[in-house]
Structure 1
């Protein structure tokens, strides 16, 4: 039987820990037999998990007999992982064991050197920190999960369930995965990626030099703006404005403006019944077709699909 070992590290996120336990633990083969044996191991007999204390029955030696290892996220992913856990993960990887992370569990895999040179994902709020801390990793903040074969990573919370269902499908086929998804009351595959959940260019972006012009863009994004208009509002040249934006935001002024408009459109899709034409006009896009194209490029889904996901059906 395929053995899945979930690693309970200090300050583990309980949701991330429970997801693989429940998903793999409830998966059944067509003849009714369990599809997986699930173990939870820890660095210590009692592991802190936010407001809870969890007792674990086995230690890190369980990784030696694992077919798949799952590493949940930690509440403080920036803190150093216990050295025995890093050593055990490296040894498991060297033995060819499949290793997957959920949410900011990617930081633990990165610390162990298991993501070097690979494309990986994590919760979108932590993606920049992961990329800056580990520049050898190709961090993709817009996808729900990434399968590199032996090493897999997933985005935050519910994306861990997406990853687990993907592994069930990979191990036992679509029928078993579909049955597992029904038990989880979750779709076997979700449209779009993590991009639709990202809060773009928030008005609270911290920047000492750009704060006035960022606030100005926030208030005037619905107007027909050119780069020169933004430079005038910032009381600087276009060249200087471009340099400051790239240095502090990683974007051009017009890219930032587009992100603000997308965020405003998301808010209207979530809170109003306005049609696409009205929303496009109200947030500053030149045409509905331009809005649809840029919205899909930014979020990975259409405006209609976004509204359905984040607002649902009236009366549902």
Structure 2
């Protein structure tokens, strides 16, 4: 059992950006949109909130059979090891504590991809018969198979994600996923906390989306500024990580700029973000690392 397993669960989330046609980026004009969805009312954690795809780590994401699978596709251990060459601060979620499992920098990417497929039917990768990942840094969605059938089987646990990849000869795209941030649910949510690794991926066009009905009330694409404006107007509610991360993206209207930045910063590590809540007489305030009111050494 992992060190903090009795206090919180590990999870991974994926920011999926897609180029918006031939739109030209400018200061107030984004040339991409972000994929988000609204949780259903019956969702156990933060129902009705607007979130990025993602979910809890599953044992299947870290099984060593993935190493054999990638080796058969010509992706060596050395190439996968490139994903682990990260400097700077490393939150606990990225630490390896079991030699009989995949490196966490690899398995957490698999978690994020699997969850995106389970929730939204978006499978990022390529067929074995096609060329590998583009050097441009962009990923793409795989089609040409019964998405709804496999989505249900993987979601319901009838099939493992690695079985999907083996049977359909699909190589999940780990190499064009960029470590973006790491979050820990505030202590106020004592009964349901997650330490989450956030990754970012970019596509040249919007993929087809098929929402899983039990977890997803609706999905939509919008620009970072559009989502933030809708939140301010109370048309939707963004959970704190989504609000924070969209505020980071709002300063980069060009998707090519985002990819370049993400590629460079993904090798520098992540500082764990754990918001702290202060209750006031007329409101509640969340403070973050670096804020004056953030507890020292928290």
Q: TM-score, normalised by structure 1?
A: 0.23
- Greater relative CO, 1 or 2 (CA 8 Å, sep 6+): 2
Higher helix share: 1
Q: TM-score, normalised by structure 2?
A: 0.24
Higher strand share: 2
